[in-house]
């Protein structure tokens, strides 16, 4: 069974899936925000294959940047505490480059394009604008093998949506479960979620 956390801890990828509508079961993100999993459901997803492809893509990209004279910050943690609360949001963008007043966040994706990837990069942009790079002009780039999506600004209502969904995941009251096809991609086991449908 999972271990309860002392205070809500929200990983950026869980939040991105909820904000983009990719995760139709909000309980999944809520439960992980309040509990540390001690076991994870293995699924159809080839995680070892994904890790290798992602590492290769990021290494090639990093080497190219260094050759071009940049000093990339690779997989550095972001930890942001919501003001006047005990809620922490954490994430790890693949690569950040600071150049004068400009900051660019890159995230490498080996799979097919998804709106969740853009929301994930927007979250990094938002979180970095709140602390380390508050004085800088920040943009984000989602990198696929054959294309790049550039994000120059956050949508006007981004902060409102961010607060809305952080509130759902950090609330003491749990959201409803939504068992179904999304269970296949969920890492919560039947021990922690007896309603799981495989
Ligand atoms: S196993 Fe299914 S119902 Fe349970 S948290 Fe995951 S997605 Fe939701």
Q: State pLDDT tens for residues 84-118.
A: 999 999 999 999 999 999 999 999 999 899 999 99
- CATH second-level architecture of 3-185? Alpha-Beta Complex (3.90)
Q: Does the pLDDT value for residue 19 go beyond 70?
A: yes
Residues recorded for the chain: 198
User: Which of 124-128, 141-145, 161-165, 182-186 is predicted with the least confidence, judged by mean pLDDT?
Assistant: 182-186
**DSSP secondary structure string for all residues of 29-97:** HHHHHHEE-SS----SS-HHHHHHHHHHHHHHHHHHHHHTT---EES--EEEEPTTSS-EEEE--SEEE
- What pLDDT, on the 0 to 100 scale, is given for residue 45? 61
- What pLDDT, on the 0 to 100 scale, is given for residue 47? 74
- Supply 53's token pair: 């492809």
Domain map (residue ranges) of the chain: 3-185
Percent of the chain with pLDDT over 90: 89
Closest Cα to atom 2 of ligand 1? 183
* 182 CB within 6 A, ligand 1: yes
- What pLDDT, on the 0 to 100 scale, is given for residue 147? 95
Query: 47 or 194: which carries more pLDDT confidence?
Result: 194
pLDDT in tens, 44-57: 566 778 789 999 99
Whether the Cβ atoms of residue 43 and residue 67 lie closer than 8 Å to each other: no
Q: Determine the average pLDDT of the residues in 168-196.
A: 94
How far is C-alpha 132 from the chain's CA centre? Answer: 18
Distance 172 CA to ligand 1 centre (A): 18
Of 30, 177, 180, 194, best ligand 1 pocket probe by most atoms within 8 Å of the beta carbon: 177
What is the average pLDDT score of the chain?
A: 94
Distance 183 CA to ligand 1 centre (A): 5
pTM of the predicted protein model? 0.94
Closest Cα to atom 3 of ligand 1? 179
Q: Determine the average pLDDT of the residues in 29-41.
A: 96
Rounded to 5°, the CA angle 96-69-58 comes to: 45
What is the band of 132 on the pLDDT scale with cuts at 50, 70, 90? confident
- What pLDDT, on the 0 to 100 scale, is given for residue 190? 95
């Amino acid at each position: 069974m999972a271990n309860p956390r002392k205070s809500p801890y929200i990983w950026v990828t869980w939040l991105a899936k909820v904000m983009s509508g990719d995760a139709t079961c909000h309980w999944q993100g809520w439960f992980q925000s309040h509990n540390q999993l001690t076991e994870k459901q293995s699924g159809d997803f080839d995680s070892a294959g994904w890790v290798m492809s992602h590492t290769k893509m990021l290494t090639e990209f990093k080497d190219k940047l260094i050759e071009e004279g940049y000093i990339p910050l690779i997989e550095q943690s972001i930890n942001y505490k919501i003001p006047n609360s005990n809620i922490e949001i954490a994430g790890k963008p693949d690569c950040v480059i600071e150049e004068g007043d400009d900051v660019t966040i890159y995230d490498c994706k080996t799979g097919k394009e998804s709106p969740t990837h853009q929301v994930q990069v927007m979250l990094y942009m938002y979180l970095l604008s709140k602390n380390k790079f508050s004085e800088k002009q920040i943009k984000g780039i989602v990198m696929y093998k054959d294309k790049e999506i550039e994000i120059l600004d956050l949508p006007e209502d981004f902060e409102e949506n961010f607060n809305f969904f952080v509130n759902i995941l950090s609330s003491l009251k749990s959201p409803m479960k939504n068992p179904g096809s999304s269970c296949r991609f969920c890492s919560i086991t039947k021990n922690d979620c007896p309603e799981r449908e495989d």
